[in-house]
Amino acid sequence: MTRHFRTLLDLSSAELATILSRAHALKAGRGRAHLGEAQPRPLAGKSVAIVLEKASTRTRVSFEVGVFELGGLPVTLIAKDTQLGRGEPIEDTARMLSGYTHAIVYRTFGQERVETLAKHARVPVINGLSDQFHPCQLLADLQAVGEAFDRRGGDFSGLRAAWIGDGNNMAHSWINAAALTGLEVVLACPDGYRPSEAVVDNARRLGAKVRVVKDPAEASDGAHVVTTDVWASMGQEEEARDRQRAFEGYLVDAALMARAQKDAIFLHCLPAHRGEEVAADVIDGPQSRVWDEAENRLHAQKALLEWIVSQ
C-alpha cells in the first residue's frame, strides 16, 4: 500500500517509534560504512525526486545524501526551473513523476499542494516543509530529544518541550509530535501568532498534552526542551518588520534557559538569526543540540525512506 508522510499524523505512535529506533541505529552504524562493512541498500535501483518550491540547504543535502547512502538515485528539481514552475498542474506532475521515481519529497507553500500531489501520485509523497507543517524536521528533533534523555524508544512521557515564538509550521509539527509520543508541549506565542486552533484541537483529540500561553517564562519553567524558530518564515519576508515588533520579548536567552531544567536542551531547526529569536550564547552554548539535530535529518530521513518504500 502506498503510504505518504504529509504530516507526522500519517504515522501511528508505533510506526514513529520504529522509525526513530531505526534512525538511532543508522546513526550509530554510519561510520562503519566507511570501514567496508556491508550496509543495507533498500533503495538500490530506485530513485527519489526532491521537488523544491522554496529555498533549502539541510533538506536538500540530507535527502540527497540519504538516498545515495541507501543505494538510490536522488533527482533534485528546483521548481522554478521546471514545468511545474511554469504552471504545469501538480496533478500532472504527480502522475508523471510516479512513472519515473519511487518516492517524491516535496517542499512547497500551502499544505493543500502536498495533499494534491499525494492524491495523484502512485508513489509515497514526503512533505519536505509546507507553510503548515515540517514533519521531517520533527523526526530529527525527536531523535535529538531521545539522545539527550536516553529515550530511544520514542516514548517521551514525563518530558516537556517549550516552544517560544511563532505558531508556525514547526510549532504545528511539535503539536502533532505531542499526540504521538506523550511529550507535553507548551507554546508561548504573542496574540495574532498562535498556532492554528484546528491543529491544536485535533492533537488534543488524539490525546496530546498541549497548552498555548503568552508568556515565554511560563512555557520555559521546568521544560526539558526549549525550542524556537525564525519569526518570519519563507514567504513572509514582507512581514519581517511587523513581526520583529510583535515578537519583542520572545528571544530565547540565557535567562529564559535558566528557567528550564538544569539538563534542558535547546533546539532550532535552522537557519537561525542570532540576536533575534535566539541569543548567540544559547545557540552556541553547552545546552544547544542544534548540530546533532541538523545531522539527524540524514539519519531520520534514511529511516523514513527505508520504511516508506517497504510498505
Binding site for ligand CP (CB under 6 A): 56-59, 129, 137, 269-270
Residue 44 C-beta: closest distance to ligand CP, Å: 26
Specify whether 107 is catalytic: yes
Specify whether 269 is catalytic: yes
Residue 108: contacted member of ligand CP, ligand NVA, none (CB under 5 to 8 Å, by partner type): none
Specify whether 229 is catalytic: yes
Residue 292: contacted member of ligand NVA, ligand CP, none (CB under 5 to 8 Å, by partner type): none
- Local structure of residue 278 (DSSP, 8 states): B
Distance CA 58, CA 79 (A): 17
Catalytic residue chosen out of the listed positions 10, 131, 141, 229: 229
Residue 291 C-beta: closest distance to ligand CP, Å: 12
Residue 220: contacted member of ligand NVA, ligand CP, none (CB under 5 to 8 Å, by partner type): none
Which residue has the closest beta carbon to ligand CP? 59
Specify whether 137 is catalytic: yes
Specify whether 160 is catalytic: no
Catalytic residue chosen out of the listed positions 134, 151, 289, 299: 134
Specify whether 86 is catalytic: no
Structure-block grid coordinates of residue 30: 554510519
Catalytic residue chosen out of the listed positions 107, 120, 160, 268: 107
Residue 57: contacted member of ligand NVA, ligand CP, none (CB under 5 to 8 Å, by partner type): ligand CP
Nearer to ligand CP, 70 or 129 (CB): 129
Distance CA 277, CA 106 (A): 27
Identify the bridge partners of residue 268 per DSSP, sorted by sequence position: 228
Residues that bind ligand NVA (CB under 6 A): 129, 134, 168-170, 229-230, 233-234, 269
Distance CA 209, CA 21 (A): 23
Q: Where are the beta strands (DSSP E) in the chain?
A: 47-52, 73-78, 103-107, 125-127, 160-164, 184-188, 210-213, 225-228, 265-268
Rg (CA), the chain: 19
**Contact in structure between 118 and 157 (CB atoms under 8 Å):** no
Q: Which of 191, 194, 231, 229 is nearest to 212 (CA)?
A: 194
Known catalytic residues?
Answer: 107, 134, 137, 229, 269, 297
